[in-house]
Structures are given as C-alpha cells and as structure tokens.
Amino acid sequence: MRISLIQKDIIWEHKSANLTNYDSLLSGLSRKTDLVVLPEMCTTGFSMQAAQLAEANDGETMKFMRQMARDYGFAITGSFIGKGYDEANDNFNRGFFICPDGRATFYDKRHLFRMGEEPEHYQAGNDKCLINYMGWNIRLVICYDLRFPIWCRNTDNEYDLLVVVANWPETRAHAWQSLLTARAVENMAYVCGVNRVGTDGLKIKYSGDSQLINAYGSVLSSVKPGIEQIQTLEIDKDSLNRFRKKFPVWKDADKFEIL
C-alpha cells in the first residue's frame, strides 16, 4: 500500500481556504497513492473555538473529503472539529477515514490535551477506531493519544498500521519522534505520524517531523522538518507478517482491559 504524508501549514480557523489548498495538492496524487494522511484539525488548526467551528459528519469538510476521495481514487484520513450526535452541545476532535467509495469511519479523540484547555471545549471519545482497507487493518489515533501506550496497544496484532495525526509543537519534537518509534517497536506494526508545520493563531510553532516507521523501528521517510512537503512511500504487509512470525513477541504481551 502506498501512503502519502501531507506535512502542511494550516490557515488558522479558515475551513474553505484549507480545503481549497488540499484539493490543489491532492489532485496531483491521483493514481499515485492509496492513502493520504493529513494533520490533526486539518481545516482549522488546533482551535478551541469549537462552538463556532464544529460541523456534522455530513457538513462542509466531510462532503469535500468524500468528493476528493472519489475523484482522485484514494482514502483520506485526518481530523476535524465535529458536532455531537444528539441534542447536547458536545463537540469532538473527530478523526475520519474516508475510502474512495465514500465509506466513512469516525473516531473521537480519547485523550484531550489539558495543557491546551482542550477538555474545556471538547468531549472525550471512548471507542477505538479500526479500519479495514485494501487488506490492511488500520488504527487511527490523534496527537496526545500517542503518549498513552495502553490505549495504543496492538492486542493480538489487531492492526498492521497505526496512523497518528497531530498538531504537535516544535518544543516537544523529540518526544514526538521518540514516541512514534516506541509505538512501532512495542506493537510490531507500521506507524505513520503526520504533523503540521508553521505557526498557528496562538503563536505556537510546529516543525512537522512527520515520519513513517516500520516494525523494527526504522524510519522509512525523509520528510524534512519545518517545511511543507509531501512524501509517498510504500509499505509491505508480507514482510510485516514474516517478521511477526519469526519474532512473535506479541504472544507474550500482557493483557490489559480498557474500561
């Protein structure tokens, strides 16, 4: 499977401008990739203006993403500011995975970044997200989730690829890179982490440092920090399965129950 890492600046709280930029970028990837990975809150940046910016799963952002997936023939994943499913005024940092046929899977971020006041504006999700696409089992998590290994635990090889979409500040770039590698090694899976670049409306700077890492902990990508860049790489499930068979540490993993 071919994966495209979209390391990009995000125009602060301007959905339509960001969507137009993505359309321009992604049109050039038609027939060249199978999965496009965008950063966290890819149409707004890490904004706490949830009440003003939240939208439904059939709103502007998801309609646009579905159309791009259909038109260009690949899956798209990232996150946006999503509305709750009932009459309550609950909003979520909502991950999405849109297949070329329009099929959509959603994931509400489990771990909210309290240092950025995220819990004051968003509700936490409770359900894990597992997608089957092109014969791959893919798990989607969002930014701060990366710090919690039990939440990311790959029990009995339930996933082959962990996708982490983020707005992870430059000041903690070392932690970002280290945790991506740790999740790949301990879970014996590919890990794809895509982070934004640029400076947001709160003057927080992001260096990107987007990476694709294999189950050995080797970095396969060469995305440069601090600049907008797209890189497409191919991952191989057969080699992953051979490694898991040859070195089956997953059989000795501790069993955790997430309540």
Q: Is 23 left (phi over 0), alpha (psi -120 to 50) or beta?
A: alpha
Q: Do residues 223 and 208 make contact, with C-beta atoms less than 8 angstroms apart?
A: yes
143 flagged as catalytic = yes
Catalytic residue among 8, 13, 15, 40: 40
Strands (E), 57-144: 75-83, 91-98, 104-108, 130-133, 136-142
Tokens of residue 155, six digits: 């029990």
Catalytic residue among 42, 129, 143, 192: 143
Catalytic residue among 8, 15, 83, 109: 109
From residue 50, alpha-carbon distances to 81, 224, 226 in Å are: 7, 31, 27
Q: Do residues 35 and 230 make contact, with C-beta atoms less than 8 angstroms apart?
A: no
Other C-beta atoms within 10 Å of 229: how many?
17
13 flagged as catalytic = no
End-to-end Cα spacing for the chain: 33
Taking the alpha carbons of 240, 241, 242, 245 in that order, is the dihedral positive or negative? positive
42 flagged as catalytic = no
Provide CB contacts within 8 A for 257, sequence distance 6+.
Answer: none
Nearest CA among 204, 194, 99, 203 for reference residue 146: 194
From residue 62, alpha-carbon distances to 17, 70, 115, 174, 203 in Å are: 15, 12, 28, 33, 28
Residue 203 φ then ψ, to 5°: 70, 25
Residues carrying an active site annotation? 40, 109, 143
